[in-house]
Amino acid sequence: QKEVEQNSGPLSVPEGAIASLNCTYSDRGSQSFFWYRQYSGKSPELIMFIYSNGDKEDGRFTAQLNKASQYVSLLIRDSQPSDSATYLCAVLKSNYQLIWGAGTKLIIKP
């Protein structure tokens, strides 16, 4: 079992709809979780981070964390074509290294 798992996609969502990206992790002791966006040929860009159970909202983005079920998700409301990218889920280890999921490719269709 991989430490951080994501569906590789592609996930295709109509413009204006809600895109839902999911991630599960294996280490129950994990405390910090991150969502990065990566455009093709570019480096990752931090979108959201979440440390506590529940929802965290920032603009069109909402991160959701459920430690009991060991999953973290990212919702993108009012999806735009510019949101088309690969979304990487990352979980922080105690030595500050990140464990990365393989990424979900999101395609927003105009």
Partner 1 sequence: GAVVSQHPSRVICKSGTSVKIECRSLDFQATTMFWYRQFPKQSLMLMATSNEGSKATYEQGVEKDKFLINHASLTLSTLTVTSAHPEDSSFYICSATLSGASARMQFFGPGTRLTVL
Q: Binding partner 1 by CB under 8 A: which of 13, 103, 106, 108?
A: 103
Question: DSSP code of 101?
Answer: P
Asked whether position 49 contacts partner 1 by CB under 8 A, the answer is yes
Q: Pick the piece of the chain touching partner 1 (CB under 8 A) from 9-17, 34-42, 59-67, 73-81.
A: 34-42
* Smallest gap from residue 49 Cβ to partner 1 (A): 6
Comparison of 42 and 77: residue with beta carbon closer to partner 1: 42
The alpha carbons of the chain give a radius of gyration, in whole angstroms, of 13
Nearest to 71 by CA among 16, 1, 6, 11: 6
Residue 11 vs 92, nearer CB to partner 1: 92
Q: What is the DSSP track for 9-69?
A: --EEEETTS-EEEEEEES-TT---EEEEEE-TTS--EEEEEE-SSEEEEETTEEEEEETTT
Which residues form the interface with partner 1 (CB under 8 A)? 32, 34, 36, 41-46, 49, 51, 88, 92, 95-98, 100-103
